[in-house]
């Protein structure tokens, strides 16, 4: 008896070295074959020199697509705190310095907000995804998620500022949510849902 072979998944290069992002995208884009620069043995420094999420995401996607000759997805994301004038923003990963880790960044953030009452601790996560295809075209997809900054970290899931980003509608921080729930409501999940529709159309045209 002949069996029908499974259709080949579209290979997409995910331009990140962040294991937290990779875990989220593997679930968000599970119908695609995701590879990383490490998988492709590409020696690429994924710098973020620009001042906007859009510019950083576009630069990473275009650079990696050109070197890999694969459809490439890159993102740039950040935390914007209202009382800090939108900081740390596109510098979120380096808020406490170029060699800072998540704990360093959270410690600095909480110290800057130590005298700010709860109602003044409003913030949002922002994500911009760039998808670069081989004809040079780039599509951008945006997502955001609003919440509050807690007075101390809570939860052990996620990465970045997740332990101090509180979602009042759920009564939990991002770091207290399982990945399945986080991906439904997060800034990255919302942007990825939009990108997914574009990638599915791209895949249909390639068949």
Low-confidence ranges of the chain (pLDDT < 70): 1-8, 45-50, 204-207
Q: What is the DSSP string of 84-119?
A: GTT-EETTGGGTT-TT--HHHHHHHHHHHTTT--GG
What Rg do the C-alpha atoms of the chain give, in angstroms? 18
CATH fold of the domain at 11-206: Maf protein (3.90.950)
Q: What is the DSSP string of 29-91?
A: TTTSEEE-TTTTT--------SSSHHHHHHHHHHHHHHHH-SEEEEEEEEEEEGGGTT-EETT
Token look-up 């791209």 returns 202
Q: Write down the pLDDT at residue 31.
A: 87
Q: Write down the pLDDT at residue 1.
A: 43
- Write phi, then psi, for 146 (nearest 5 degrees): -100, 150
Q: Write down the pLDDT at residue 40.
A: 86
Kindly report the pTM of this predicted structure: 0.90
Which residues are tagged catalytic? Answer: 76
Q: Where are the domains of the chain?
A: 11-206
Q: Write down the pLDDT at residue 156.
A: 95
Residue-wise pLDDT tens digits, 28-61: 999 899 999 888 888 776 666 668 999 999 999 9
Q: What is the DSSP string of 124-140?
A: EEEEEEEEE-TTS-EEE
């Amino acid at each position: 008896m002949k069996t029908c072979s499974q259709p080949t998944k579209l290979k997409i290069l995910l331009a990140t070295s962040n294991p937290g992002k990779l875990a989220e995208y593997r679930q968000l884009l599970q119908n695609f074959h995701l590879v990383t620069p490490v998988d492709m043995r590409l020696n690429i420094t994924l710098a973020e020199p620009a001042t906007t999420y859009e510019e950083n995401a576009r630069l990473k996607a275009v650079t990696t697509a050109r070197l890999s000759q694969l459809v490439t997805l890159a993102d740039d994301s950040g935390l914007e705190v209202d009382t800090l004038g939108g900081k740390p923003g596109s510098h979120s990963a380096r808020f406490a310095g170029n060699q800072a880790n998540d704990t360093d960044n959270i410690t600095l953030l909480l110290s800057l907000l130590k005298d700010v009452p709860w109602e003044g601790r409003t913030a949002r996560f922002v994500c911009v995804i760039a998808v670069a295809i081989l004809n040079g075209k780039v599509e951008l997809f945006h997502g955001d998620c609003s919440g509050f900054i807690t007075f101390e970290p809570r939860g052990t899931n996620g990465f970045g500022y997740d332990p101090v980003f509180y979602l009042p509608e759920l009564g939990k921080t991002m770091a207290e949510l399982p990945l399945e729930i986080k991906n439904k409501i997060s800034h990255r999940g919302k942007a990825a849902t939009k990108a997914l529709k574009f990638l599915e159309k791209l895949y249909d045209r390639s068949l």
